[in-house]
Structure 1
């Protein structure tokens, strides 16, 4: 049947049957070609439709996100639409124990000092942080760490949402303490093991509970990253993901304010095809990310927010449109109209980052 579906003449008939034409012609096409009738109604994948959430994400809801690189993709979408987002103040993080430690550091407003750093070769590093925080000097590393951490800490009490993306249950340890990043130090310096469901659940449960006691209106979204970690092989990756899924659902069942979001199932069960992975065959493709983003919107945005984003899309398309002519009354009128819209959006979201749009605006001005 899969072969039949992809025959050129069958594809043509399916397209005709689904074309918005008269009902009579569509019925004739279906009735006189029984295989097409079957293909028209049969499902070839298990779709996971969005169910609107009881609480909507709005532009006045600051969001904190910690976790894997997949979370970065979705949060970048939110950032593009000017939602107030803090993404990975410690850098990309994969294991739940490090995620729990980072939540605690943000909540309790931890301060990092030189004693928290290690000197490796020509760089000062922190095992709690991504390699992007490394610096040739200890002061440089502390400045990088402090700037990002303080920015996240300053919004504690204002965050309405925290999104946690669990990447892997495999973790590195040095002298008994979990390590977020090994900074390319030889593996013999670390221990590498699969975390238990119990230790991951206890760490996240304690941190989430402490946070919620201080901020009762907070909502946690927990998801498992569909990015496959194949360092130890496919079977070990699947063991890891199974444990993460169990931890996520334990937390979902334990707390009313913790909710599971099925990004893992959207890629692995709904799309379920290597076409939706990039060349690495481990990371979802841009098309897959767009699919999850659409599902995310259908789940967490109400109609007002959706309409606002559509209007903003229209503004951005006009801003980045390549004009055929850059002189004359028509282009001048276009710039005046665009300027009014730009000012209105800035006034609407004054705290958003508009640097990219302002660069594009300056390009248009130079064209005129």
Structure 2
């Protein structure tokens, strides 16, 4: 039987972060995105925290990035090749000890964003980390799952059962559940419905609901009158409240204020989420989007969930223009 993947709060030997490497994918926010990723890296590399493996998507950039972080001994710049920074989705998922990892086919989020090199990221990370990859013959991104370390997996039907990923699954939860059992040791899959409005990942769960402890799942509550995802958030909370995990515990739902309505340059709602936090050794890094009150309340709620970790809010507006935030651009190697 396949062992369950460790929970993200388990100790890490390292964490991977993707460095924005291609200005043509970012346009005007490119330098601001780099500044925001630098802030994340420096928070992760704080005393007693993480060995950071900073993957640069074009080898010729490596020397300049090394100079940028020359003051941090525990930041390793890894030259690589990728289309964009979303290592949570393109990289492998590591088991305890990080000697082995699960890898999956990647098709550019349902063939919407196919960029050269992304399909090879899992292999590159496996080679550099020394992990043996266990390849699975289906399409999946790491951000479409969240797990509690005991075999309970959270996901959304909108993404995992989307015919643009694995049409042969034909919307069949049982088939997908069996695939996850074999691939990542899922003992029970908790199926949610839709993700955030205009989420080009087709509803990744790491923007919607996250385990913060066994039997405890955080999900948003609407902030402000015009929150475009208010109904989705309430539906998620209702669904979770009647679920149990793989150990038979009833799920406790922790509601955390959303960032509210966040608009892009064309005045369209974009999928900003405090749920895209990154659990690190000794810290939780929380993305913020300009509303200090919403961010402060979200951080207070997360402090209740993680009383033994420092809660660090950092801006992520520019990273969000690329489609995600801190969780999306990272991947941990557990001890």
Tell me which interval the TM-score lies in, with the shorter structure as reference length: 0.3 to 0.5
Larger Rg: 1
In the superposition, the TM-score normalised over structure 1's length comes to 0.31
Of Structure 1 and Structure 2, the greater strand share is in 2
With the length of structure 2 as denominator, give the TM-score of the two structures.
0.33
Task: Report which of the two has the higher share of helix.
Answer: 1
